[in-house]
Amino acid sequence: MRRILRDVERRAVADHVGLAYERWAPVGPGGKLLEGEAAEWLTRLAATPVSTDYRAHYQRWAASFDADGSRTAEVTLASRLLIGHGNPAGSDVGLTLHHTWGVPIVPGSAVKGLLSHYLHACYAMDTPGPHPMDPALDETVRQRAAFQRPLWEHRKVVHGPGDVQRAIFGAPSAADDKQFAAQGAGETAGEVIFHDALYVPVGSERPFAVDVLTPHQRRYYSAKLGDVPPLPSDYDRPNPVTFLSVRPGTRFLVALSGPAEWTDFTLRFILESLSEWGVGAKTAAGYAISDRKESRSRPNPSSRLHPYHLFSPRFATG
């Protein structure tokens, strides 16, 4: 049966890239991608156009955020995107795609995780300090403490997050909640809903590109668990791995729901974090950085924070 499916895929142009990428890879008896057929297979997938019906789905979805409090913004990739690197795939390099339409998406959970980490790393205190709701904090420390995430020790939450993190993401129960109950400490849900960022259809654009990853220290990376790996060496034979990624210039619509005062605030920092850090895998190599922001509900420019350098925390209200 597997051979029949493979023959069908070879004769037809796949109209669902996700299904083809995960299930119809030309693999040999050992389950490895056949090198002689990999390039042609990936090139064919990258050339697959997006379904013409997807545009209607996207327009209905985007229109659903016209409600009060919802905020959206288009972001454009300045570099390639690789998200879902560890997902199962015939090429051994996964890619997160829409289950129904096979188009690229950025999961809401990825946007949410990126933002929480970004706020804490760039705006909170450099080292874990006192409880962010401690009334004894001076104003400067209080502003930075608002961006702190929960403090964990030995799988237990010592104290909850600061006001900003609490409002956006919610808070777990913590050991010292009773002590700061008067200041609003305690378990709570977040105010903001992070939706998946969907691919924005533009004409007959093909959003995928063939990419390559070439590990040069093959023996070092392939050492078995428990063995002492050999020292990395440039004398090993390179092992090119080809896979799909999302090409630069592809657009996504970031969408949030919740109270307007918090969705405005959250969107502002999402756009900043996408421009500064990017999202997904290989961001240290320059993947997944956005270069343009177009918001249907852009906050007032006078209330925007000034640009920041990474790990140079500042906070300004207004």
| pLDDT reading at 315 higher than 70 | no
216-267 confidence digits (pLDDT tens): 766 676 666 766 666 766 677 777 778 888 988 899 999 999 998 899 999 9
| pLDDT reading at 60 higher than 70 | yes
> With contact defined as beta carbons under 8 Å apart, do 70 and 253 qualify?
no
pTM score above 0.75? yes
The boundaries of the domain holding residue 176 are 117-189
Specify whether 10 is located in the same domain as 84: yes
264-307 confidence digits (pLDDT tens): 999 999 999 988 888 877 666 666 566 544 444 333 323 333 22
24-37 confidence digits (pLDDT tens): 878 777 767 777 77
Specify whether 201 is located in the same domain as 294: yes
Q: What percent of the chain has pLDDT over 90?
A: 21
Q: What percent of the chain has pLDDT over 70?
A: 69
DSSP character string of the chain? -HHHHHHHHHHS--S-HHHHHHH---B-TTSPBPHHHHHHHHHHHHTPPPPTTHHHHHHHHHHGGGSTT-EEEEEEESS-B---TTS--TTS----B-TTT--BEE-HHHHHHHHHHHHHHHHS-SS--S-TT-TTS-HHHHHHHTTPPPEEETTEEEE---HHHHHHHEE---TTTTTTGGGT-S-EE-S-EE--EEE---TT---EEEEEE--S-HHHHTPPTTS-PPPP-TTSPP--EEEEEEPTT-EEEEEEES-HHHHHHHHHHHHHHHHHT-SSS-GGGT-S-EEEEEETTPPPGGGSPPP--TT-------
> With contact defined as beta carbons under 8 Å apart, do 118 and 313 qualify?
no
> With contact defined as beta carbons under 8 Å apart, do 111 and 254 qualify?
yes
> With contact defined as beta carbons under 8 Å apart, do 168 and 262 qualify?
yes
Does residue 152 belong to any structural domain of this protein? yes
- Round to whole Å and give the CA distance between 266 and 172: 20
Does residue 309 belong to any structural domain of this protein? no
Specify whether 216 is located in the same domain as 269: yes
Does residue 131 belong to any structural domain of this protein? yes
Provide the phi-psi class of 258: left if phi over 0, else alpha when psi is between -120 and 50, else beta. left
Specify whether 136 is located in the same domain as 277: no
Domain boundary among the residues 189, 224, 251 is at: 189
| pLDDT reading at 313 higher than 50 | no
Does residue 313 belong to any structural domain of this protein? no
Specify whether 220 is located in the same domain as 265: yes
Specify whether 173 is located in the same domain as 216: no
What pLDDT shows up at residue 198?
95
2-27 confidence digits (pLDDT tens): 566 555 555 444 578 888 888 787 87
Does residue 316 belong to any structural domain of this protein? no
Domain boundary among the residues 173, 189, 205 is at: 189
Domain boundary among the residues 189, 218, 248 is at: 189
Place of tokens 């080809």: 242
What pLDDT shows up at residue 203?
73
Specify whether 209 is located in the same domain as 285: yes
Specify whether 40 is located in the same domain as 185: no
Closest listed residue to residue 75, CA positions, set 300, 267, 209: 267
Q: How many domains does the chain have?
A: 2
Does residue 308 belong to any structural domain of this protein? no
Specify whether 200 is located in the same domain as 299: yes
What pLDDT shows up at residue 288?
57
Specify whether 8 is located in the same domain as 71: yes
Mean pLDDT (whole number) for 65-92: 84
Mean pLDDT (whole number) for 104-118: 92
Place of tokens 């015939």: 90
Does residue 284 belong to any structural domain of this protein? yes
- Round to whole Å and give the CA distance between 23 and 261: 44
Specify whether 75 is located in the same domain as 202: yes
Does residue 112 belong to any structural domain of this protein? no
Specify whether 81 is located in the same domain as 47: yes
> 247 is written with which tokens?
């090409």
